[in-house]
Structure 1
Amino acid sequence: MTSAPLGQRSLDVASLALLRWAIHARQTVLFGASLVVLALSPSNYRSLAMRHALARHAWLDTAPILAGFTLLSALLTVVLTRIVVVTARSYGLSQYALEMVVRVLVLELIPLTAALFVALRCTIPNGAALAELRRSGRFEELRRQGRDPLVHEVLPRMLAGAFSTVTLAALSCVVATVLAYFAVYGATVAGLPAYTRMFGHVFNPSVALIFTAKTIFFSLAVSIIPVSAGARTTAAPGSREGAALQGLVRMFAVLLLLEAASLMGNYY
């Protein structure tokens, strides 16, 4: 019996990998849709234990990283604004410098950085923790008690991750907007009319809508994909890193697609 040609075997491996990726993507979409439905159902918030779990996860996923990320965004704003302004002045394009800073920093970098920051610090570890809970029998224990593990363990972590992403992005964008003004005009209100006109020109209705939608979809991606990978996988001992890595790869691919779609909407 002759073996299959090398090219045919490579094609079969690629087809199998693509099929496996499509199956995982379909499962993630369906699981995420079920979580969104659960999140929009008021009856799931009547339980005192659910509300306590949601408040605890929201606090743990937001408060410890809020100050650090805001300071990082402030430092990035000051450095990037200074570089762009000095470079633009040397080419006689100083009137476009501040608009460039707002477009690059506020529109693109901060929402994406906030999503990645929350994912690495909160949602990917939460997904690995869910895989460990599933392996240890916590989900089956909740089912025996008549409680849905999706509502009591998965949903609070998903909502907390989305809340943390939106909070970090919103606060950091406000801080970056204020610091960019002071970096260019200083402690004076003389440049406020020009800055307001420029900001309104950048954030026209279509761009503002795309920015809001992108931030929301970023928050859903970084909160749903890692917890989906953890909640649907029975983790063996020591496999928490594997679950975290799988969630990171899938989530990063989705974030890139969302960022590419927003760039096309803003500039094409």
Structure 2
Amino acid sequence: MTSRARRRRFGTLALAALICSTSVLSGCSTDGGPDEHSTGSAAADAPAFPASATPDYQLGGAYDPADGVGIVGRDRADDPADGLYSICYVNGFQTQPGELDSWPEDLLLQGDDGPVFDPDWPDEALLDTSTSEKREAIAAIVGPWIEGCAASGFQAVEFDNLDTYSRSDGALTLDDNLAMATLLVGVAHDSGLAAGQKNAAEDAADLRGSAGFDFAVVEECAAYRECEAYTRVYGDHVIDIEYTDELPRSFAEMCADPETPRSVVLRDRDLRPAGVEGHVFETCP
């Protein structure tokens, strides 16, 4: 599949603490960890999230994880990693490349010239989350993908593109996407999967407090110095992927930074499988 690694859409969050002063306080904890009273939680029999474990992010193609890896993220089309905590990638708010024609036209956000596409991913159209009817119809399509992740043996699922409202020119709102996320998280929990927020630092408190996310998968929070925006909400339940092509400081410095999540990995932007030229996989000491 095409790599899902995404370049940043937002700038640095210098005031990360502001997130925990919003109206949705249920997603924040005074001790830096997830609040036990937050709405939604993974099924009681779901495997415990391995906080601070070494991650690998394999959306560019599955391969045998290196020794010491405890968490592996893979696309829903791949099998989970044997014996490791495996997270299933689902593009829940945009179409996948090559799948545009499989979506009903009325579930695609429409602009003056037809479907609205992600400016960074021009082969991905935004899904229309603006009404409850459309959200239910989207969930009827995405829900079986989530259930398929559980049937394949994954322990968790991550949902990408939670921030489509920010590039919809006002056609969608945060509330629309929170309502959509709540439906998808519900399917994940009913399937025995933990549910992960992908990126969207500005909305972390809302996504955990309202939609019930259990952990976060984030890209380049150390490079952009916004990791605290996630760890204030999720504690140690944060996985960070940094990329070699945008390192404003050395990876060693990021590892030494107390604000960097303990679950962090350095990868090449295309997330190439091991053995392929250009593959990079590096972890903190």
TM-score, with length taken from structure 2: 0.29
Which has more radius of gyration?
A: 1
Structure having the larger proportion of residues in helix: 1
Structure having the larger proportion of residues in strand: 2
Higher relative contact order (CA 8 A, sep 6+): 1
TM-score, with length taken from structure 1: 0.30
